[in-house]
Amino acid sequence: MAPSVKTEYKNFLNTKEGAALYNKFKRILYGEPDSLIEYFNCNFLTDKFVPHREKLNICDVGGGDGKRIMQILGFLHKKYSKYFHLDLIEQSSVFCRSFENNLNKITPYSTVNIQNCLFEEVNFSRKYDFIFLIHSIYTLKDSNNILKLLQSLNPDGKIILFSNAEDSFLGALKKELDKGYSDKRFEINNIKESLNNFSISYNSYNFYTKWSIAEKDVYSRMLIILQWLSLGRFSSFSEHRKQEIFDLIFDMATSKNGKYYFKEKEEIIIIYGSGKN
């Protein structure tokens, strides 16, 4: 029987190799500080968007090593003098340990509870102002998870999901690399289909992450991206199969002045609590 991509994804992130590859992949696309979070902070976290309470309850589902949520909390604390209770849910013990080692960066203004478990195993004990899923929807079991999240929102709370868009650079590569699995990753189109089926309203926003790679570095950098997206399998592909995938990559890139230029179509979905019409 063919393996499950969702199971393989979770298993790979529970290894030091998988966690390290994911962080290298993020740095290539988003840099440090993370440009995806910088865009969100500057364009979404307005006075109108952020609840006017001194302390906010935050939940980060699939929060990884915590760097992205710490960047968001740091921004909110600096701009709005907010304090936080953070529940970080992460199934990878490797990432949980990494987050624990960096907690001192936010503990002056945050209390933190780390739950090293799958989302499906969580029993939420509070209502949240913000629930984040930042590139972490791919292993959700089914659409009922959306209802579980909604039940954990304050009336004026918001669920905020980040993902590559369906017709994006990463979306095209994942479709190609995931051939042979018995299932598919839970993608943004599955989220939107579920929301429509449940008659849950939401807002969707698209924007682009752009990055460039020097010609001399393009193969080594792309190997990192492909090794991550393939969950460690790309190095074992046949040379013919590897070339097919590199051909796809170069079809989606622009070459100019000794560099290859890429862009990734991002999507943010915001679901509002019951207090929002």
Task: Summarize pLDDT for 192-212 with one digit per residue, the tens.
Answer: 998 998 899 999 999 999 999
C-alpha to C-alpha distances, 88 to 117, 145, 204, 233, nearest whole angstrom: 10, 16, 24, 29
Answer whether residue 263 shows pLDDT above 60. yes
Average pLDDT, the chain: 94
Give per-residue pLDDT as tens, 88-123: 999 999 999 999 999 999 999 999 999 999 888 888
Q: Is the pLDDT of residue 184 over 70?
A: yes
User: Is 12 a residue whose pLDDT tops 90?
Assistant: yes
pLDDT at 277: 44
Does the structure show a pLDDT above 70 at 24? yes
Tokens 């399998």 sit on residue: 233
Catalogue all structural domains in the chain, each as residue range(s) with its CATH number.
5-211+265-272 (3.40.50.150)
Q: Please compute the mean of the pLDDT values over residues 133-156 and round it to a whole number.
A: 87
Minimum mean pLDDT among 2-6, 11-15, 86-90, 231-235: which range? 2-6
The mean pLDDT value for 134-158 works out to 87
Amino acid at 146: I
pLDDT (tens digit, 9 = 90+) per residue, 224-235?
999 999 999 999
* pLDDT computed for residue 276 by the predictor: 66
Percentage above 70 pLDDT, the chain: 99
- Cα 31 to Cα 24, 66, 226: the distances in Å are 9, 15, 18
Preceding amide of 33 cis, omega within 30: yes
- Asked whether 137 and 209 are in contact (CB, 8 A), the reply is no
